[in-house]
Amino acid sequence: MASIFSPLTKNIGIDLGTSTTQVYVEGRGIVLSEPSVMATDERNSKIIAVGRAAEDLLSRSPETVKLHRPLVHGVIADYSVTRTMLGYILSKCVRSVQRLRIMIGVPSAASNVEKRAVMEAVYQAGAKEAFLIETAAAAALGVNLPVYDPVGNMVIDIGGGTTNVAMLSLGGIVVSKSLHLGSLDFNAAIKDYLRYQYDIVTDDTTIEEMKVTNGSAILPLEDRGYYFMGRGLDDGLQREMAIKSSELYHVIGKPLIKILDLVKDVLRETPPELAADIMEHGIVLTGGGAKLKGLDQLFTQELGVPVMVAPEPELAVAKGTGIAVADRDKLSALVEGAQRIYRRRF
Ligand SMILES: Nc1ncnc2c1ncn2[C@@H]1O[C@H](COP(=O)(O)OP(=O)(O)OP(=O)(O)O)[C@@H](O)[C@H]1O
């Protein structure tokens, strides 16, 4: 359907993520990638920073700064923070928020209420037209899979708080599933392990760093130690300790099994002729969680299908939303549901 809006309307794609929000502007590419956080002053509730600046503030003046994370497991947990954060982010990306057409990714398991909350937040932030697309479908577009061809294309997107898996063919989704579990759950598992195994607590930044530098989805050949400072729960004193990569492998393995089960469920529901395409062409891993060391090897072993990590996997969804907003008429099978339910004219 032709748009009623001016040809000057700007096409924007947004990956509103649990950990990171990325914005794609047509003709410019990804223009913003910032942590999904907002900081307010505890004394007067005023917004003092958004994104990376908000995270940085917390380390400098923690007693007066309150951090808000608008999304939990890919779902809006605080509507007004989401709306404010989106408005702020958009104003950083474009000169005027007057004429924006926005495509935004949502997990396949998002309820109509959750989708409506996203759409409302996007409209409140200034959009004149807004559309939704399933996260995994956006990821497939973002890594240029031939989703229009009569072949099976499979994507696994592992974000901070959600995992989205989809099988696409002929411009539509054949099977898709999502789970409220992502790479931040690896951090939670590590935190629990340190507490129960060693009586040690440490900050979130340290846990993230140990996962990124020493975490692994497969048993590491070299069992390196990651040294960090933690506080003993028994005496409250700071001490240095090390966690081995083999320990991280075992700890991360527990939430990873749930992701593998989700992928197997999608494969079970996939028609045999499309499954044969997957055997030949493989599965693509996207999302920041795809960067976990050895993840492609683990999935290849466990699924018996070639699995590869996309280049710049954390950007796939944002790029895909940018492609989808420009090609929205051609992609009506992927964005149609959102249009039918939510499209509004101002
Ligand atoms: N090397 C790595 N190993 C494991 N996880 C990683 C690595 N690098 C980044 N990550 C994780 O990637 C996540 C961010 O990825 P991404 O931006 O795709 O998620 P998101 O869009 O914010 O979340 P969601 O889609 O679940 O709402 C963070 O939780 C981060 O810990």
- Residue 143: inside a domain, yes or no? no
Name the least confident of 23-37, 59-73, 168-182, 310-324. 59-73
CA 18 to ligand 1 center in whole angstroms: 8
Residue of the nearest CA to atom 25 in ligand 1? Answer: 159
Using 50, 70 and 90 to split pLDDT, how confident is the model at 61?
low
CATH number reported for the structural domain that contains residue 305 in this entry? 3.30.420.40
* Average pLDDT of every residue of the chain: 91
Domain endpoint, select from 232, 249, 266 = 249
Using 50, 70 and 90 to split pLDDT, how confident is the model at 2?
very low
pTM of the predicted model as reported, rounded to 2 decimal places: 0.93
CA 215 to ligand 1 center in whole angstroms: 13
Using 50, 70 and 90 to split pLDDT, how confident is the model at 159?
very high
Assess whether the C-beta atom of 185 lies below 6 angstroms from ligand 1: no
Instruction: Quote the pLDDT of residue 276.
Output: 96
- Residue 3: inside a domain, yes or no? no
Q: Please work out, in degrees rounded to the nearest 5, the angle formed at the alpha carbon of residue 34 by the alpha carbons of 192 and 83.
A: 95
DSSP one-letter code for 77? S
ipTM score assigned to the predicted complex: 0.99
Task: List C-alpha distances in Å: 136 to 104, 158, 258, 286, 339.
Answer: 12, 9, 17, 9, 18
Has residue 315 got a pLDDT over 90?
yes
61: its two tokens? 């003046």
CA 184 to ligand 1 center in whole angstroms: 7
| Nearest CA-CA partner of 171 in 322, 57, 309, 327 | 327
Same domain, 127 and 235: no
Name the least confident of 7-11, 122-126, 250-254, 289-293. 7-11
Has residue 67 got a pLDDT over 60?
yes
Domain endpoint, select from 198, 217, 249 = 249
- Residue 91: inside a domain, yes or no? yes
Assess whether the C-beta atom of 105 lies below 6 angstroms from ligand 1: no
* Mutation pick for ligand 1 pocket among 19, 156, 163, 315 (CB with most ligand atoms within 8 Å): 19
pLDDT tens for 81-101 read 998 999 989 988 988 777 899
Instruction: Quote the pLDDT of residue 5.
Output: 45
Closest ligand 1 atom, CA of 36? 22
Average pLDDT over residues 109-123: 89
Name the least confident of 15-19, 66-70, 224-228, 321-325. 66-70
Same domain, 133 and 157: no
pLDDT tens for 219-246 read 999 999 999 999 999 999 999 999 999 9
Has residue 58 got a pLDDT over 80?
no
Assess whether the C-beta atom of 19 lies below 6 angstroms from ligand 1: yes
What is the maximum alpha-carbon separation in the chain?
67
Same domain, 309 and 219: no
Q: How many domains does the chain have?
A: 3
Using 50, 70 and 90 to split pLDDT, how confident is the model at 285?
very high
Domain endpoint, select from 206, 234, 249 = 249
Instruction: Quote the pLDDT of residue 198.
Output: 97
Assess whether the C-beta atom of 320 lies below 6 angstroms from ligand 1: no
Residue of the nearest CA to atom 28 in ligand 1? Answer: 160
- Residue 5: inside a domain, yes or no? no
Residue of the nearest CA to atom 15 in ligand 1? Answer: 288
- Residue 4: inside a domain, yes or no? no
Closest ligand 1 atom, CA of 164? 25
Asked whether 200 and 233 are in contact (CB, 8 A), the reply is: yes
Residues that constitute the known binding site for ATP: 160-162, 208-211
Task: Kindly give the residue spans of alpha helices, DSSP state H, lying in 215-343.
Answer: 245-268, 272-281, 295-303, 316-326, 332-342
Same domain, 286 and 213: no
* Mutation pick for ligand 1 pocket among 75, 183, 185, 296 (CB with most ligand atoms within 8 Å): 183
Has residue 341 got a pLDDT over 80?
no
Instruction: Quote the pLDDT of residue 297.
Output: 98
Range of the domain at 175: 148-181+252-313
Same domain, 41 and 89: yes
